Chains A and B, each alone.
Chain A
Amino acid sequence: MILASGAPEGAGLFIPPLFEVIASVLCLLPIAWIVAKKAVPIYLRTLDERTEKIEGGLRRAAEAEEQIAVERAQWAQEIADARAQSGKARDEARAEAQAIVAEARAQASQEAERLLATAKAQIAAEAKAAEEDLRGHIGTLATQLAGQIVGEALEDQALATRVIDRFLDDLEASTVPAGSAGSRR
Chain B
Amino acid sequence: MRSLAMLLPLASSEEGGGMETPSLGELFPPPFAFDGSNFFEMNRLSLVRIVATVVIVLLMWAGIRATRLIPGRGGGTFEMLMEFVHKQIAVEILGKEAGRRYLPLLATIFFAVLGMSITGVVPFLNIASTSLVAMPLLLACISLVAFIIAGIKSHGAGGYVKSALFPAGAPKAIYVILTPIEFLSTFVLRPATLTIRLMANMIAGHFLLTAFFMMTNYLLISGTSAMKGMSVLPFAGALVFTCFEIFVAALQAYIFTLLTSVYISLAREAH
Contacts and interface: CB of A to CB of B under 8 A. Distances in A.
Contacts of A30: 53, 57
A24 B23 contact: no
B50 interface: yes
Given A19-B40, A24-B49, A35 B25 contact: no
B135 A24 contact: yes
Contacts, number: 146
Interface in A69-114: none
B201 interface: no
Contact of A13 (B29, B100, B133): B133
A31 B138 contact: no
Contacts of B30: 2, 5-6
Contacts of B49: 23-24, 27
Interface in A2-38: 2-8, 13-25, 27-28, 30-32, 34-38
A3 B64 contact: no
A40 to B, nearest CB: 5
A149 interface: no
The prevalent SS among residues of B at the interface is helix
Contacts of B25: 1-7
Interface stretch (B102-110, B169-177, B232-240, B262-270): B102-110
Contacts of B139: 28
Interface residues of B, number: 56
Interface residues of A, number: 42
B60 A16 contact: no
Interface string B26-49: 111110001001111101001001
Interface of B: 1-3, 23-30, 34, 37-41, 43, 46, 49-50, 52-53, 56-57, 60-61, 63-64, 67-69, 78-79, 82-83, 86, 100, 103-105, 107-108, 111-112, 115, 129, 132-135, 137-139, 195-196
16 contacts: A2-B30, A6-B28, A13-B24, A16-B137, A18-B38, A20-B134, A24-B135, A27-B135, A35-B107, A35-B108, A36-B104, A38-B61, A39-B63, A39-B107, A40-B107, A44-B86
Interface of A: 1-8, 13-25, 27-28, 30-32, 34-44, 46-47, 49-50, 53
The 5 closest A-B pairs by CB, nearest first: A6-B28, A36-B104, A3-B25, A20-B134, A16-B134
